[in-house]
Amino acid sequence: MVFAVFALFPVVITDPTTTSIAFFALVFMVAAASWNIFSGYTGYLALGHAVFFGSGGYALALLTSHLHVSGGWPAFALLPLCGLVGALISIPVGLIALRTRRHTFVVVTIAIFFIFQLAAFNLGFTGGTSGLFLPLPPFSAANFNQPFYYVAFIILLVTLLVSWLVRRSRFGLQLLAIRDDEDRALGLGVKTRRLKLSAFMISAFFVAMIGGLYFDFVGQVFPNTAFDPLFDLSIALMAFFGGMGTLIGPVFGALVLESLQQYLTLSFSSNGTYLIAYGVLFLLVILIMPQGVVPGVRDLLRRRRPAAGGGTLAETDQPLAGAAGATR
C-alpha cells in the first residue's frame, strides 16, 4: 500500500513544487535510514555523515567532468561509484573515530566533519568557495523531477532492504548487542571493531550515493551545502524522531520532518520558522515519547490491546516462576 502510494505519487501529482518536496523528502529518508544502519543499531551517535553526503556530491561532479559523462541517466549510472568513494573515505575516518566511545566519539566525528568542510573550501580540485557544477540532465522542465524521484525511490528501497537484511542477520544482532553492552558483546566473541567499521562503511556508502543524486538535482556543489552541520544533525534528529534502531522509524521521521521543513520554507520567506517548528516538534517528542514516535506508538497500541501480541510481562511472569522454580 505504502509502496504503491510512493510509486504512483509523481504520476498523480505532477506539480513540480510538490514533486521536488517529495524528492527532498526521499533524499533525507535514504540518509536517515542509512545513518540508522550505523548509529541506530550500534548506538554510536555519528554527527559527521555530511562528510559522506558531500563527498558523494563532489565525487559525482568530478567523475562526470573527468570522464565526460553527460547529465541524466549516464550520470545516475555513476551513483554506485559515488557510494564506493564514500565507503572508501569512511575507512580511515572510521578507523580513527571508532577508537573512541560515547561523547568523545561524537566530538571526533564533528571534528572530522569540520576538517572536510575546511578542506573543501581550501583545496584546489574542489573549486573552493564557488564549488563545482554538475552536468545538466536532458529532461524537459515539466518532467524534470520524475527521474530523480524514481532513482531516489529505488535507492531508498535498496537501503531499506539492506537495513532489513542487516537487522535480520547475526551481524545486525551483534550491532544491537554493541549498543546495549559493548564489553559484554566482546566477551561473547563478537568482533566489535570489524563490525562497527563494516556498519560505518555500509552507512557511508548509501549516504554518499544519495548525496551524489541530491547534488546532481541541485546542479552545483559548494562546501557550504555539501558539508552542512545542519545535515549531520537533521538526519540524527529525524532518526531519533521516528525511533532510532528501528527499521521504519528513521524513514518515517525523515518523511515528516523534511516535508515539514520544505513546506514551511516555501510558505514563509524566512528560514527561522522551520527551524523553530523543527526544534519544538523534536523537543516535544523527546518529552512525550523518549523512544521516538514509531516505538512510542507501538507501545501505546500494545498497552491498549494487552491481549494481542503475546501479552505483557506481568502475565507471563507468573507461569514462569512455576517453571523456573520447579523445586519449590
Q: What is the C-alpha to C-alpha distance for residues 22 and 215, in angstroms, rounded to an integer?
A: 16
Binding characters for other proteins, 306-325, by CB under 8 A (x = yes): ----x--x--xx-xx--xxx
Q: Of 139, 157, 150, which Cα lies nearest the Cα of 23?
A: 150
Q: What is the C-alpha to C-alpha distance for residues 224 and 117, in angstroms, rounded to an integer?
A: 8
Nearer to other proteins, 66 or 194 (CB): 194
Shortest approach of other proteins to residue 41 CB, angstroms?
A: 11
Q: If binding is defined by CB under 8 A, does position 277 make contact with other proteins?
A: yes
Q: What is the C-alpha to C-alpha distance for residues 106 and 102, in angstroms, rounded to an integer?
A: 7
Q: What is the C-alpha to C-alpha distance for residues 123 and 232, in angstroms, rounded to an integer?
A: 22
- As a residue count, the chain comes to 328
Q: What is the C-alpha to C-alpha distance for residues 150 and 213, in angstroms, rounded to an integer?
A: 11
Which of 4, 183, 303, 307 binds other proteins (CB under 8 A)? It is: 183
Q: If binding is defined by CB under 8 A, does position 162 make contact with other proteins?
A: no
Which amino acid does the sequence have at 164? W
Which H or E run includes 255? Answer: helix 249-267
| 214-253 residues near other proteins, rule: CB under 8 A | 229-230, 233, 236-237, 240, 245
> Which sign, positive or negative, has the C-alpha torsion 133, 157, 241, 183?
negative
Q: If binding is defined by CB under 8 A, does position 297 make contact with other proteins?
A: no
Judge contact between 216 and 147, C-beta under 8 A. no
Shortest approach of other proteins to residue 48 CB, angstroms?
A: 11
Which of 145, 163, 174, 262 binds other proteins (CB under 8 A)? It is: 174
Nearer to other proteins, 121 or 150 (CB): 121
Q: Which stretch binds other proteins (CB under 8 A): 6-14, 43-51, 71-79, 296-304?
A: 43-51
Q: Which residues contact 143 (CB under 8 A, 6 or more apart)?
A: none
Looking at beta carbons, which pairs linking 73-76 to residues 24 or more positions away fall under 8 Å?
73/137, 73/147, 75/134, 75/135, 75/137, 75/216, 76/147, 76/151, 76/213, 76/216
Q: What is the C-alpha to C-alpha distance for residues 90 and 110, in angstroms, rounded to an integer?
A: 14
Q: If binding is defined by CB under 8 A, does position 120 make contact with other proteins?
A: no
Q: If binding is defined by CB under 8 A, does position 136 make contact with other proteins?
A: no
| 192-211 residues near other proteins, rule: CB under 8 A | 192, 194-195, 198
Shortest approach of other proteins to residue 269 CB, angstroms?
A: 10
Shortest approach of other proteins to residue 23 CB, angstroms?
A: 23
- Compute the radius of gyration of the chain from its Cα atoms: 21
Tell me, by CB under 8 A, how many residues bind other proteins: 82
The grid cell for 94 is 572510521
Binding characters for other proteins, 78-97, by CB under 8 A (x = yes): ------------------x-
Q: If binding is defined by CB under 8 A, does position 161 make contact with other proteins?
A: no
The grid cell for 126 is 574542489
Judge contact between 256 and 149, C-beta under 8 A. no
Nearer to other proteins, 78 or 190 (CB): 190
Nearer to other proteins, 1 or 287 (CB): 287
Q: If binding is defined by CB under 8 A, does position 118 make contact with other proteins?
A: yes
| 49-78 residues near other proteins, rule: CB under 8 A | none
Q: What is the C-alpha to C-alpha distance for residues 19 and 259, in angstroms, rounded to an integer?
A: 11
Shortest approach of other proteins to residue 156 CB, angstroms?
A: 22
Q: Which stretch binds other proteins (CB under 8 A): 65-73, 135-143, 151-159, 182-190?
A: 182-190
